[in-house]
Structure 1
Amino acid sequence: MTAPSPVPADQTTPAALAPAWADLAGQQAAVEQLSRAAAADRPTHAWLFTGPPGSGRSNAARAFAQALQCEVEDPDRRGCGSCHACLTVAAGTHADVKVLATENVTYKIDEVRDLIALAQDRPTSGRWRVFIMEDADRMTERATNVLLKAIEEPPERTVWMLCAPSPADVLVTIRSRCRQVGLRIPAVRAVADLLVERDGLDPDLALFAARASQSHVGMARRLARDEGSRSRRESVVHLPLRVKATSDAVAMAKELVEVTQQEAASSAEVRNAEERRNLLRSLGLAEDEKVPAKLRHHVKRLEDAQTARNKRAVHDTLDRAMIDLTGLFRDVLALQLGTDAELVNEHLRDELASYARAASPERTVERIDAVSTARRRLAGNVPPLLALEAMATSFLPDRILDRRPPDHP
């Protein structure tokens, strides 16, 4: 890999020197904005990080927290990544940096109230009390109103950081009181270079993963490191290519649900087992010991939380499959229109070229719309199999669709 050109002395910026920002691939503008704020004596007390999934909203918030708490004296060098404060923020153990995340559909109002109560305390070891709320768009209106009061009248030396896909996903009353940091989807090459430099991955595999994930850094890392994830993704993107009849479409919908359930289960299995072991250990029980009746409510609470999380994981994995299918049909459309755009599924170019020749661009656009409709229905709690069967029928060959009556579903 070609080494980057050295930065001239008169163009050196904190963003170019501070290791805390190294994981923010392709986000130079945001890094420079945050670096300047971290060097200020009194940065803005409330921030809103927005950007598409995979752009690194949470990573940017954590890097900013590192820079705010960094022990380096020179403000322009904060975010060193090696002092005690930087290391503990990165590990999630810094006493003055609290991260709130939820794997449920929405935040519970009690979670937000607990966070606000903590915000009243003064910093114990750092310069600031920092609160990072991931997926702030999952707050209910009641929870948002509770948080609004804390942001309107912030305690001294407290910094709030909210993360959401877009400014519109947060109530305007919150949005208007936050300084916004917009993140973008990084370039494929920037993500691939990050995987090579940070994780030591093979350059070709890193480039494949960066393309296949559509520049989603976390997903790219998982695809590059987990052969099972790569195999399941290949199963998903090949499904539309195999649809030749209505029976194939129904079978495809069923298989897609099963593949995503397997993906979610494989991600949750180890974590769930470890959480159960830790709980039993904290209760003074062996792993194979029967749980006494008076302690069963602890296990039941954990199981309920895991069930809710698993359900959310299936939804998120299915939504990721929809994104992969959208990328597939965009590749087909690019081939049909003769653009020079690099394909998301470059490794399937020959198969997609054959598929593109047998379909019209108009039908391809309809299929992209069908995938988008399925995503909206899934978000609206339509049963997955029902939503996917409706989508899959749009994947039938043009010669079959052209024979259908205009009002046929």
Structure 2
Amino acid sequence: MPEVFADLVGQPEAVDTLRRATAAAEAIRATAAADTVPASAAAETVPAADSPETAPVEVATAGSAMTHAWIFTGPPGSGRSVAARAFAAALQCLRGTGCGECAGCHTTLAGTHADVRFVVPEGLSIGVSEMRALVLRAASTPSGGRWQVLVITDADRLTEAAGNALLKAIEEPSPRTVFLLCTPSTHPDDISVTIRSRCRVVALRQPPAEAVAMVLRDRDGIGPDVAAWAAAAAQGHVGRAHRLARDPDARRRREAVLALPRRLTGVGACFDAASALIDAAEAEAAAAVAETDAAERAALETALGAGGTGRGATSAIRGAAGQLKDLERRQKSRATRAQRDALDRALVDLAGFYRDVLTVSLRAPVEPVHTDVAGMATTAAGKWTPEGTLRRLEAVLGCRAAIETNVKPRIAVEAMMLALWRG
């Protein structure tokens, strides 16, 4: 039987925690529902004294496994948002188990449940006005009689003011509201200490390549050899592994990135390689958001009366300039985020290559990340010292960190390419 936690790969401890919390939440909900039954009706339906359903100790123990605020942490690809979405579905499950088959599970997983709201930032941050509106709606009584759930998939992008608005809601929660936050870590740079202190943390780990390959084989029907290669190349990221296995364009982009070390033959070549990497990321991002941008603009223009011939249609369009400008601002922010995400994927691939070179140099008994370019890694290991390879790896990781702190991507990538060339 399918169940909501089936897609949470390689996280047995987290799944156990969430299943116990699901059972506790159902016990709490059932107890609250029983308290609202009229006394006469309750007298007719009370179970026998030795029935497990009436044991107060069990209810108390179960209740302690559930709380109103959770933080899911872990490296990219570990399944933070998958875990949060699955837990939200389990809380809305009509059977109280996270069965994966009922309407509550299906609508939550599809993102259409009336009592579950997903905050997926398209830009670089989540603003205070958006957070206040979401918190206000989440405080309402659940229409289905279960829970109001607010899922913030990138809580590390909350602005300070938005974080304060969320903190107030977590400090004074409504009885049937649950907050599920996803962040890379509990470091103060990712989530404020005050929010962290009021939440229960579910720490996820990078899934092993074997577990990812099994999912690709069993769920997606991908051949064993391709599944094993994609799982290793994706470094435990299930979504990336699926794209590499299925998307020829994703494979071509990866191959272009892994060819960069051989192109670094001088200062000019370094700047050319940096431009190629930036241009590729921009093109990938533009293709990813083009369809959505066009659909949003067309929908807004239609709502504002574009193409209309009636009285006032022309003046309505002229007065809509502010709304169109706001849409363009949001779309520009989304495009910037998409560019940075595409660039980060390329840097992760590049870091994996230098990691492979280092393991060859040190004869480390570990499997390579990029099995298809193992020969190139071996050649590089014969030319570079382990210290030089480590400096190159640190340059790639430093570039990722610089971009996250809002250094201009082109400047950060150019500096990285020069460091890679010099060693």
**Distance change (3 Å), C-alpha of 1:381 and 1:170:** closer
Q: 1:70 maps to what in 2?
A: 93
Q: Is the 8 A contact 2:230 2:242 kept in 1?
A: yes
Whichever residue aligns with residue 102 of structure 2, its letter is C
Deviations 1:186-221 (A, max 9, x none): 011211221222222333322222222111112222
Amino acid at match of 1:347: D
Instruction: Show the counterpart of 2:175.
Output: 156
Q: Could you tell me which amino acid in structure 1 is paired with residue 90 of structure 2?
A: A
CA–CA distance in structure 1, aligned partners of residues 223 and 324 of structure 2? 43
Q: What does the per-residue CA deviation read over 1:19-67, in whole Å, with 9 as the maximum and x for residues that have no partner? A: 2111111011101100010011232111111111111111101100111
Instruction: Indicate the residue corresponding to 1:146 in structure 2.
Output: 165
Pick from 257, 260, 285: which aligns with 1:239?
260
| Residue aligning to 1:329 | 354
Kindly tell me: are residues 275 and 197 of structure 1, through their superposed partners in 2, closer, same or farther at Cα, counting changes over 3 Å?
Answer: farther
Residue 60 (1) aligns with residue 83 (2): yes
Output the amino acid matched with 1:62: R
Q: Tell me the TM-score normalised to structure 2 length.
A: 0.84
Does structure 1 residue 343 correspond to structure 2 residue 368? yes
Task: Spell out the pairing of 1:8-19 with structure 2 (5 A cutoff).
Answer: 19=3
Contact 2:138 2:177 in 1 (8 A): yes
Bigger shift: 237-246 or 162-171?
Answer: 237-246
Secondary structure of 1:32 counterpart = helix
Q: Is the 8 A contact 1:98 1:131 kept in 2?
A: yes
User: Which residue of structure 2 lines up, in the alignment, with residue 210 of structure 1?
Assistant: 231
Aligned 8 A contact 1:18 1:79 in 2: no
Q: CA deviation at 1:144?
A: 1.5
For residues 286-365 of structure 1, what are the structure 2 equivalents within 5 Å?
292-365=317-390
CA drift of 1:284 comes to 5.1
- Alignment partners' CA distance in 2, 1:187 and 1:341: 13
The equivalences for 1:360-379 within 5 A come to 360-379=385-404
Question: Does the aligned pair in 1 maintain the 2:127–2:161 contact within 8 Å?
Answer: no
Two-structure CA RMSD over aligned residues (Å)? 2.0
Distance 1:166 1:145, change over 3 A: same
TM-score norm. by structure 1 comes to 0.87
Asked if 1:391 corresponds to 2:375, the answer is: no
State the Cα distance separating 1:350 from its structure 2 match.
Answer: 1.1
For 1:29, the equivalent position in structure 2 comes to: 13
Change (3 A) 1:109 1:33: same
1:87 matched to which residue of 2? 106
In the TM superposition, residue 283 of structure 1 has moved relative to its aligned partner by: 4.1
Structure 2 Cα separation of the partners of residues 303 and 222 of structure 1: 29
Aligned length: 377
Residue number in structure 1 paired with 2:54: none
Spell out the pairing of 1:225-264 with structure 2 (5 A cutoff): 225-264=246-285
Q: Distance in 1 between matches of 2:264 and 2:179?
A: 49
After the TM superposition, which residues 122-141 of structure 1 pair with which residues of structure 2 at under 5 Å, given as runs?
122-141=141-160
Q: Which residue of 2 aligns with 1:116?
A: 135
Structure 1 residue ranges without an equivalent (≥5): 1-16, 402-409
Aligned equivalents of 2:298, 2:101: Cα separation in 1: 33
Q: Which residue does the alignment assign to 2:62?
A: none
| Distance in 2 (alpha carbons) for counterparts of 1:201 and 1:272 | 32
The one of 176, 180, 189 aligned to 2:210: 189
Is contact 1:232–1:263 with CA below 8 Å preserved after alignment?
no
Any conservation in 2 of the 1:85–1:126 contact (CA below 8 Å)? Answer: no
Q: What is the CA-CA distance between 1:126 and the residue it aligns to?
A: 4.2
Residues 46 and 160, structure 1, Cα contact 8 Å, conserved in 2 = yes
> C-alpha offsets along residues 226-276 of structure 1, whole Å, 9 cap, x if unaligned?
211111111011101222222221211111111111221221122222333
More off after superposition, 49-58 vs 215-224: 215-224
Three-state SS of the structure 1 residue aligned to 2:230 is: helix
Distance 2:239 2:307 in 1: 35
Alpha-carbon distance between aligned partners in 2 of 1:160 and 1:128, rounded to the nearest angstrom: 10
Identify the residue that residue 70 of structure 2 maps to in structure 1: 47
Q: Which digits, 9 at most, give the CA deviation of each residue in 1:65-117, with x for residues without a partner?
A: 11111111xx4xx1111111111001111011111121222211011111121
Instruction: Give the fraction of aligned pairs with identical amino acids, expressed as a percent.
Output: 46
CA shift, 1:18, in A, is: 5.4
Shift of 1:281: 4.2
* Counterpart contact for 2:81–2:153, Cα < 8 Å: yes
- Could you tell me how far apart the structure 1 residues matched to 2:232 and 2:412 are? 27
Task: Quote the offset at 1:285 in angstroms.
Answer: 4.1
1:86-105 mapped onto 2 (5 Å cutoff) = 86-105=105-124
Answer yes or no: is 1:172 the counterpart of 2:172.
no
| Counterpart position of 1:404 | none
Please state how far the C-alpha of 1:383 moved relative to its aligned partner.
2.6
